[in-house]
Amino acid sequence: MRALKKKLQREGVYREMKLRRHFEKPSEKKKRERAEAVRRARKLARKRAQREGTD
């Protein structure tokens, strides 16, 4: 059971279920997706900078 929950969480099923509880306007969806992309890019840049700094 624990392995299944972990797999579902990794695949983003829980997150998607939460998002689909209520209707999301297309403009809100675009705005949210852009914000998520920016967040991912910043996180990746932070990780990359940290890795280069310690090597």
Q: For residue 14, what are the domain limits?
A: 2-54
Q: How far is CA 33 from the centre of its chain?
A: 9
Q: How far apart are CA 9 and CA 26, in angstroms?
A: 25
The total number of structural domains in the chain stands at 1
pTM over 0.85: no
Q: What is the pLDDT of residue 52?
A: 87
Tokens (6 digits) for 34: 């852009």
Q: What is the pLDDT of residue 53?
A: 83
pLDDT per position in the chain (55 positions), as tens?
999 999 999 999 999 999 999 999 999 999 999 999 999 999 999 999 999 886 5
For residues 18 and 12, the answer to whether their CB atoms sit within 8 Å is no
Tokens (6 digits) for 32: 């949210």
Tokens (6 digits) for 18: 């939460």
